[in-house]
Structure 1
Amino acid sequence: MQIDKQTVIDLIKNRGDHDQAAQAESELPDQVDTDQHQDLLGKFGVNPAELLGGGGAGGIAGKLGL
Structure 2
Amino acid sequence: MEIDRQEIVDELRGRGEDEAAARAERELPEVVDTDKHADLLHHLGINPLDLIGGVGGTFG
Please classify the TM superposition score into its range, dividing by the shorter chain length.
0.7 to 0.9
- Unmatched 5+ stretches in structure 1: 57-66
Which structure has more relative contact order (CA 8 Å, sep 6+)? It is 2
Query: TM-score, normalized by length of structure 2?
Result: 0.80
Percent sequence identity is 52
Structure 1 ranges of 4+ moved more than 4 A = none
Partner residue, 2:30: 30
Query: How far apart are the structure 2 equivalents of 1:6 and 1:50?
Result: 14
How many Å separate the matches in 2 of 1:40 and 1:8? 11
Q: Give distance in 2, aligned partners of 1:36 and 1:20.
A: 18
Q: Which runs of 5+ in 2 are unaligned?
A: none
* TM-fit CA distance, 1:24: 1.0
Rounded to whole Å, the distance in 1 between the matches of 2:19 and 2:30 is: 19
Q: CA RMSD in A?
A: 1.3
Count of aligned positions = 56
